[in-house]
A = this chain, B = another copy of it.
Amino acid sequence: MPADAEPRGPSVFKIPEGDNRERLVCPDCGFIYYDNPRIVTGAVCLWEDLVLLCRRDIEPRRNYWTLPAGYLELGETTEAGAVREAWEEARARIAIEALLGVYNVPRISQVQLIYRARLLSLDIGPGPESLEVRLFSWEAIPWGELAFPSVHWALEHFAQTRHLSEFAPRSNPPGASDRLEGEGL
């Protein structure tokens, strides 16, 4: 490629020699990109009976409410990742209590591990990716303005398990779509 061109990077699908699936290959340098599913880690965070939600300041679903959650980083445990995301998105300090749900979103190659956690302080505030963070009573949760189906699932599963000290983590509700209602469920 010309020295002043934008790098294209791996952008052409090919089956590499000795492989059995298509991978993205760079047309400029031949590098093969072995992409992998991503792990999302997050938490339903509680202060007494109140649940912490963040209003998103980023796309997709800007302005909608979500749990503090995000991609696991290299070298990080899933629990540490959930603690970090609560800090980054809601300036919240939390203690992990239990694994609440394992949600698979194969359409976008995501596995979400959502924990139940306790807020250690009421001192919270929006991080750079949030417009607003708030504690909601169960009745006040803005059900119609949740960012993703898995936020809905995690909150329902939290309600089902909140009085249990040991329980199996929930997974995608049977027959539930991982798509947003707005996309035509």
Contacts and interface: CB of A to CB of B under 8 A. Distances in A.
Interface of A: 1, 6-10, 26, 28-33, 35-39, 71-80, 98-99, 102, 104, 106-107, 109, 111, 113, 166-169
* SS of A interface (majority): loop
Number of copies of chain A assembled together: 2
A122 to B, nearest CB: 28
Given A29-B8, A36-B39, A102 B74 contact: no
A168 B26 CA distance: 44
A40 to B, nearest CB: 11
Q: Which of A75, A106, A113, A166 has the most CB of B within 10 A?
A: A106
Nearest to A8: B29
12 contacts: A9-B26, A9-B29, A10-B31, A29-B29, A36-B36, A37-B39, A37-B72, A39-B111, A78-B104, A98-B168, A99-B169, A169-B169
Contacts of A39: 36-37, 39, 111
Nearest to A74: B109
Contacts of A104: 77-79
A143 B182 CA distance: 53
Contacts of A75: 106-107, 109
Contacts of A102: 78, 99, 102, 113
Nearest to A73: B37
